[in-house]
Amino acid sequence: MSPHPLPLDRIRIRDLHLRCVIGIQEWERSVLQDVRINIVLHADLAQAGQSDRIEETINYKTLSKAVIALTERSQFFLVETLAERIAELCLADRRVQRVKVSVEKPGALRFARSVGVTLRRQRSG
């Protein structure tokens, strides 16, 4: 019987607060709204831990800048679509094996702090 493989390591980007055009209502198409993004990247970080070299890991500063650029220029109707595009961006780094992305719209519902979606995607093959 083979031993269970170790779970992948994780890098977290928490509470990235951005503004973008998002929503299905006509008024939402002409204003910037707040969104809060959380990302968990699953990868093997052992090599980076041993080498202490940024080239061996996922540069979360570079990734967060790409997420900011994607979000701020986006004009999606659905938070699901924004979350999907962020997941695709994260998986473009070959080291990322799985990703969990949450996108929330604070104040989207009158009596709720926020409304949002969470999705999980993984590298195919």
Asked whether 43 and 96 are in contact (CB, 8 A), the reply is yes
Residues annotated as catalytic (active site), given as ranges:
105
Which one-letter DSSP state was computed for residue 5? P
Distance of alpha carbon 30 from the chain centroid = 24
The H-or-E segment that residue 68 falls in is helix 60-73
| Coil vs helix vs strand at 96 | coil
